[in-house]
Structure 1
Amino acid sequence: METTPAVSAGRDGSPAVRSGGAAPDEMPEALTPEQLAAQWEEEKPPAAGALANAASSLVVLGVGTGAMVLSLVMGLGTPAAPEPGLWPFMISAVMVALGLFQLIAGRHNRDAEKFTRMSFAPLTGLVTLAAMVALMPLIGFEIPALILCIIWMRFLGSETWRSTLLVSALVVIAFYGIFVLALNTSIPHLF
């Protein structure tokens, strides 16, 4: 018994073959640039407003200003004899300049995305990384690194539990092998 492919109307009204009836070696019809642009426009997340653009600019300004103050406390020195705060100060100055530019010129930016639930993923990553750094001197790097990998892969990366646990264990084993066994570094470890 032979099956015929089911035909339905595509986006532009032309007939399109559904994937269930197409032969496995047939490639789907390529989209024109206009169709592709329309598809991207449909799938694009909602745009952020002027308030969200200003808020993100103010956050960059605040972080940059705070880092500049801390850099000054560490001491700048001179280019010939730099002190620990020189490079962080220069990077912080660039952050402040970019934050000001975005605050002034980026108010009408239409490409910025609206804050969603996934906007908190970088913050979650930063907080868990800071927790790992705080726990390492107390209990070694193995357990915090394993927990960090699990959180990042499962909850931020939406991986399956099987791949999360396998890759997390392999990462910790690889780090242990490289930094403890091979390089004999002074990284805090349990074993």
Structure 2
Amino acid sequence: MSTTSEPTRPDAAEVDILDELKAELAQDLEEERPPHAGPLAQVAAGVVTLLIGVSGIVLSLGYGLGSLTRPGPGLWPFAVSVAVTALSLAQIAFGRDATDTEQFTRSSALTALGVVTMVALAALLPVVGFEVPSLVLMVIWLRFLGGESWRSTVVVSVVTVAAFYALFVLALAIPLPRLI
């Protein structure tokens, strides 16, 4: 004997309350959102990411691409940099009229700091190896950009770098610059 019950449909009063809550939430979100960016900001964002993509291509070529069967340490950064470059060109060409973008604000500096730390990681890899720059990057991103506690920052940073080491160095035998 089954005791399934039919789903109940909300009555008109419940629907009205839900509609009011949705409208209020949409209004609150719109009030908190920074002003829309104009076409100049769209092009500027595309140019900045284009420069990042091209820089990534150049840096990854310096690490060596290898082949698809024996990838070098620069192969995946190269692939990602090519994608960033292509998407940046598309943004410059077609994204000027987008209305779902926001003006640059003080919080935009966090993104810029994230990019600077990635460039520093790429510059430090051949000098001091994979482990230390990766650990420093994780700490900066989690603690200072993400606002995590020191405890979670240390645990997540160490575990993440150890996991990347195990995956890329031990399991896949990718010749990353290392301390050891």
Partner of 2:95, secondary structure, is helix
CA contact (8 A) 2:142 2:148 kept: yes
Alignment TM-score, normalising by the size of structure 1: 0.58
Q: Which residue of 2 aligns with 1:151?
A: 140
Q: Which residue of 2 aligns with 1:136?
A: 125
Measure, in 1, the Cα distance between the counterparts of 2:82 and 2:178: 33
Q: Quote the offset at 1:34 in angstroms.
A: 1.9
Partner of 2:115, secondary structure, is helix
Could you report, residue by residue, the CA deviation over 1:99-142 in whole angstroms, capped at 9, with x for unpaired residues? 13334xx2xx5532121122122222222112112211221111
Measure, in 1, the Cα distance between the counterparts of 2:84 and 2:30: 35
Measure, in 1, the Cα distance between the counterparts of 2:114 and 2:84: 22
Q: Quote the offset at 1:180 in angstroms.
A: 2.7
Which structure has more RCO (C-alpha within 8 Å, separation ≥ 6)?
A: 2
Looking at secondary structure, tell me which structure has more helix per residue: 2
The one-letter code of the counterpart of 1:99 is I
Pick the structure with greater CA Rg.
1
Could you report, residue by residue, the CA deviation over 1:16-62 in whole angstroms, capped at 9, with x for unpaired residues? xxxxxxxxxxxxx85532222222222222333565345435556x6
Stretch of structure 1 that moved more, 46-55 or 141-150: 46-55
Q: Which residue of 1 aligns with 2:108?
A: 119
Structure 1 stretches of 5 or more lacking a match?
A: 1-28, 71-87
Structure 2 stretches of 5 or more lacking a match?
A: 1-16, 59-80
Q: Aligned-residue CA RMSD in angstroms?
A: 3.5
Q: Quote the offset at 1:176 in angstroms.
A: 2.0
Is 2:22 aligned against 1:33? yes
Measure, in 2, the Cα distance between the counterparts of 1:142 and 1:121: 23
Is 2:97 aligned against 1:99? no
The one-letter code of the counterpart of 1:121 is L
Is 2:171 aligned against 1:182? yes
Partner of 1:117, secondary structure, is coil
CA distance 1:152–1:56, change in 2 (3 Å): same
Could you report, residue by residue, the CA deviation over 1:62-103 in whole angstroms, capped at 9, with x for unpaired residues? 649x78xx8xxxxxxxxxxxxxxxxx8898566435413334
Measure, in 2, the Cα distance between the counterparts of 1:124 and 1:90: 21
CA distance 1:57–1:177, change in 2 (3 Å): closer
* Percent of paired sites with the same residue: 43
CA distance 1:170–1:57, change in 2 (3 Å): closer
Q: Which residue of 1 aligns with 2:35?
A: 46
Alignment TM-score, normalising by the size of structure 2: 0.61
Q: Quote the offset at 1:181 in angstroms.
A: 2.9
Aligned residues between the structures? 141
Within a 5 Å distance, the mapping from 1:74-89 to structure 2 comes to none
